[in-house]
Amino acid sequence: MSFNLEQARQLRDQLPVMDFRTPVSDDPLTSAYLSHYGLNRLHSPWPISHSLGYCPGHPGRVACHYFMVPEPACVGQFVIVHGYYDHVGLFRHPIEFCLSRGYSVLAFDLPGHGLSDGDPASIGSFDDYSRALLNCLTGAEQSGIEGPWQVLAQSTGAAALINCFLKPAEFPLGNLQNIILLAPLLRPVDWTSGLIKFWLLRWFVRRVGRDFARNSHDEEFLRFIAEDDPLQARYLMVDWVRSLKQYLNDFAAAPEISVPLSIIQGTEDTTVDWRYNLPHLRSGFPNTETYLIEGARHHLANESAEFRAQLFTIVAGILDS
């Protein structure tokens, strides 16, 4: 079933306020969205109840999903946070993995992504990403969904989480357990040259054309996001780079943080400067365990089957330890 940008806009406008206990609508527009991204055919050992709506917040509404494993099969809760240019529709593999382990899954589109409000791929501050995460978790807990929350966050999603830890008074996340970061964003590749370009362009343009990176060995995934995903932004926004710079400054100024992290990183990642990032993350978060996947690229959640198998073996080991 096809799904296009105009349908995405219509669906965004008609999303109801999130009710974590009410199954998603089966209207044609919602069905087209779910079918296009495979969210209506998730593999699970048990029947799954799927809710979709928006959580109110600043700077706008945040599209939120909840995939509920029935009792008594449910063993806990997972929250999944996607990366830059991504959305929940691209995270079918991690969602299926969590469901297969008996975890219910909360996932949401970051501001400026997917079905959430905001200019595409634009953000005024990484605080807005962190606030969206906190609002969705708070909404779930107010609906009676109890933690602890396991966390799986990719790239910019990991930065949204790290930003919460940098500012705990503003973003008190509470009951988290097994915080797993996939290729976390600190400094991107070629950051210095990119920053020079940013300073030269910032007075003249709001955005620059995006090149679709070969950030996975899964050729079908790369083709899909470049050709068939209407929710893909086609630009890198200058204000996003400005917000990233502020996030890096906040990280550099922060004291050591005792929160334990598990970082999984591919060694063929050409998106984040992981050789720079990992030592700095371990310095800022001394209770960090690092796992390398030889040959894997940046988009670990959508790597080829060989690398995804390694990824989920590592995640399973973390959960079982």
What is the per-residue pLDDT across 211-224, written as a single tens digit (0 to 9) for each?
Answer: 889 999 999 999 99
Q: Exposure string (b/e) for 249-282, b if CB count within 10 Å is 16 or more?
A: ebbeeeeebebebbbbbbebbebbbbeebbeebe
Residue 84 near residue 58, CB atoms below 8 Å: no
pLDDT > 70 fraction of the chain, expressed in percent and rounded: 98
Helix (H, G, I), strand (E, B) or coil at 310: helix
pLDDT, tens digit (0-9, with 9 covering 90-100), for 237-288: 889 999 999 999 999 999 999 999 999 999 999 999 999 999 999 999 999 9
pLDDT value at position 150?
A: 98
pLDDT value at position 1?
A: 64
Query: Taking the C-alpha atoms of 221, 225, 226 and 227 in order, what is their torsion angle to the nearest 10 degrees?
Result: 100
> What number of other Cβ atoms are within 10 A of residue 316's Cβ?
13
> What number of other Cβ atoms are within 10 A of residue 201's Cβ?
14
The more confidently predicted of residues 209 and 30 is: 30
Select from 242, 246, 12, 211 the least CA-distant residue to 111. 12
pLDDT, tens digit (0-9, with 9 covering 90-100), for 137-178: 999 999 999 999 999 999 999 999 999 999 999 999 989 999
Select from 149, 154, 165, 174 the least CA-distant residue to 286. 165
> What number of other Cβ atoms are within 10 A of residue 309's Cβ?
11
Q: Show the domains of the chain with their CATH numbers.
A: 5-320 (3.40.50.1820)
